Amino acid sequence: MSTYIDSLNWRYATKKFDNSKKVSESDLEVLLEATALSASSYGLQPYEILVIKDTELRLKLQQAAWGQVQTTQASHLIVLANKESFGEELVDDYLKNVSKTRGIAPEDLTGYADFMKSKLMTLTDGEKTIWTARQAYIALGNLLSAAADMKIDTCPMEGFDSEQFNEILNLKEKGLNAAVLVAIGYRSEEDETQHYKKVRKPKENLITHL
């Protein structure tokens, strides 16, 4: 069995963190870089990654997360916030980066820009929100896998009031919405759920070869 599969079997949604153990700055940077390298549609990454360290701020967020202790107990709390909507600037800013990074003349990217805009600008604001949230969830999956590979514990969390999070973190001003949370750190020895056997569907009920 590969070490990667071993790592995925090792990970679980941690319920109790050891608040005396902190993720080092160097490990945090590696984890964030891995998350930033996540795939996204057209490479646009229509979301932001917020790393919450401040204790007082996390106490406020805990109340908006139904009192769940992982928000304050873990080493760090990460919020993946998707763009609620966007205009052509999303594509334009990305292609400026492509031009600079790859040394391609902007005019040579016009056709690609027009293609992306023809697909994305026809979406309603509601459809844009759904699409950007899906992109944030791709990053979530990569974050969880990367953390497991680094033996950093995580707990992905959807149990929170996004409107309250948006208000506390001033996300509306940036056109963002809190999509999903991830508490990261190290499991407590008192967390009994770490000993539970992992339950997944049998492969024959999940995977179809055609």
Give the other-Cβ count within 10 Å of 150's Cβ.
16
* Backbone torsions φ then ψ of 117, nearest 5 degrees: -65, -35
As given in the structure block, the two tokens for residue 113 are 């820009």
Q: Please tell me the predicted confidence (pLDDT) of residue 2.
A: 78
**What is the spatial distance between Cα 175 and Cα 164, in angstroms, rounded to a whole number?**
15
**What is the spatial distance between Cα 197 and Cα 210, in angstroms, rounded to a whole number?**
31
Structural domains in the chain, CATH included, are: 14-193 (3.40.109.10)
Per-residue pLDDT tens over the stretch 128-173:
999 999 999 999 999 999 999 999 999 999 999 999 999 999 999 9
Helices (H), 82-188: 89-102, 110-120, 125-149, 162-168
What's the angle, vertex CA 176, arms to CA 173 and CA 181, rounded to 5?
125
Per-residue pLDDT tens over the stretch 25-77:
999 999 999 999 999 999 999 999 999 999 999 999 999 999 999 999 999 99
Q: Please tell me the pTM assigned to this model.
A: 0.95
User: For strand 153-157 and strand 76-83, is the pairing parallel, antiparallel, or unpaired?
Assistant: unpaired
pLDDT at 198 over 70: yes
Per-residue pLDDT tens over the stretch 1-15:
479 999 999 999 999
Segment 97-107 shows an average pLDDT of 98
